[in-house]
Amino acid sequence: MKKVLLCEPNISEGRNLEVVEQVFDQIRQVEGVKILDSSSDADHNRSVFTYLGEPEAVLAATKGMAAKAIELIDMTQHQGSHPRMGAVDVVAFIPVRGIETEEAVEFARRFGKFLGGLGVPVYYYEDAATRPERDKLPKIRKGQYEALEEKLKDPAWTPDEGPAAFNPKSGATVTGVRFPLLAFNVNLRTTDLAIANRIARAVQHINGGYRYVRAIGLALEEEEMVQVSMNLINYTLTPIPRVLETIRSEAARHGVSVAGTEIVGPVPLDALEEVLKHYLQVHDFSMDQIIETALID
């Protein structure tokens, strides 16, 4: 089995699409890298690329992408509604096939050293974290770009790579290895946002819900519905059917039914295994039975 690493960088440019294209080109031109997704959000002023391939090719693409983003993006001019700390804001590496977390962490570290060498303070998070308090992205990014100059004077926030000095143009970067994240939304046949909010609170970790669920309620004005919009941050331990059936039951309590769901963006095949096993009650099914898996090198 060939080794396959996935990478998902978030850069702080979502309005000037000429800049975004130039950065994206650095990924596209690397042989052996396959693009799964790319999207830019003007309101967030942020773009996300998703690509995978042989780990060395993915690392090369990521280095090229980051160097170009550092060159073209000026954080002193950046405004947007999404939390951010740097031009290359977050770079997540995700092991897909034939590669363990430890090996993926080595690639994240090689990327971190490269970016540090370009004069950007770098913090490692999730499975690449060097200290428990740097485990989670929101903790590292707290105060955002604007707090960075002060933060870097605090020895507790000495970067893992790069200078312990404020770089006004590029800010700082968070990189590491994490489990694939699943964006899963459930639409409800009501316009009552309070119901979506109530259900979001019921399923999400911080309010007593499922450990690996982050959720918010949203109004879908055009569709005249509301949505429980979620990130499932570990679909193995908190699988899709369990979350969906809980939402269905909570919604029924308000006389509301599930209108439909959305799985947004790329999803690993094994995230769907639990769906088959739960709803078909097919206890012994192996994903290797899927014919197409024989066609993967």
Distance CA 267, CA 140 (A): 26
> Which of 21, 25, 34, 102 is in the footprint of a copy of itself by CB under 8 A?
34
Taking the C-alpha atoms of residue 123 and residue 143, their distance in angstroms, rounded to an integer, is 15
* Positions 72 through 101 that interact with a copy of itself (CB under 8 A): 96-97
Residue 297 interacts with a copy of itself (CB under 8 A): yes or no: yes
Burial 108-143 (b: 16+ CB within 10 A, else e): bbebbebbbebebbbbbbbbbbeeeebbebeebbee
Catalytic residue among 78, 82, 278, 283: 82
Tell whether residue 296 is a contact of a copy of itself (CB under 8 A): yes
- Give the Å distances, CA to CA, from 272 to 136, 187, 279: 26, 19, 11
Q: How far is the CB of 270 from a copy of itself (least distance, A)?
A: 9
Phi, psi of 258 (to 5 degrees): -80, 120
Shortest distance in whole angstroms from residue 67 CB to a copy of itself: 25
Q: Which stretch binds a copy of itself (CB under 8 A): 12-20, 166-174, 202-210, 271-279?
A: 271-279
Residues 233, 238, 244, 250: what is their CA dihedral angle, to the nearest 10 degrees? -100
Is position 261 an interface residue for a copy of itself (rule: CB under 8 A)? yes
Among the listed residues 118, 193, 216, 275, the single contact to a copy of itself using CB under 8 A: 275
Closest listed residue to residue 166, CA positions, set 145, 195, 135, 138: 145
Cβ(231)–Cβ(212) below 8 Å: no
**Least distance from a copy of itself to the Cβ atom of residue 116, Å:** 29
- Using rule CB under 8 A, residue 61 touches a copy of itself: no
DSSP 90-104: EEEEEEEES--HHHH
- x/- string (CB under 8 A) for a copy of itself, residues 222-241? ------------------xx
Do 127 and 105 touch, CB atoms closer than 8 A? yes
Measured CA angle at 21 (ends 2, 121), to 5 deg:
75
Q: Which of 71, 198, 265, 274 binds a copy of itself (CB under 8 A)?
A: 265
Residues in contact with a copy of itself, shown as a per-residue x/- string from 178 to 207 under the rule CB under 8 A:
--x---------------------------
Cβ-based nearer residue to a copy of itself, 72 or 275: 275
Cβ atoms of 173 and 120 within 8 Å: the answer is yes
Distance CA 192, CA 194 (A): 5
Helix (H) or strand (E) holding 117: helix 101-117
**With CB under 8 A as the contact rule, which of the stretches 108-116, 124-132, 214-222, 265-273 interacts with a copy of itself?**
265-273
CB of 229 to a copy of itself, least distance (A): 14
Looking up tokens 């369990």 gives 242
254 catalytic? Reply is no
Tell the smallest beta-carbon distance from residue 133 to a copy of itself (Å).
Answer: 31
Q: Cβ of residue 267: shortest distance to a copy of itself, in angstroms? A: 5
User: What are the residues binding a copy of itself (CB under 8 A)?
Assistant: 2, 4, 6, 34, 36, 52, 96-97, 180, 240-241, 244, 258-263, 265-269, 272, 275-276, 278-285, 289-297
Show which residues are catalytic.
82
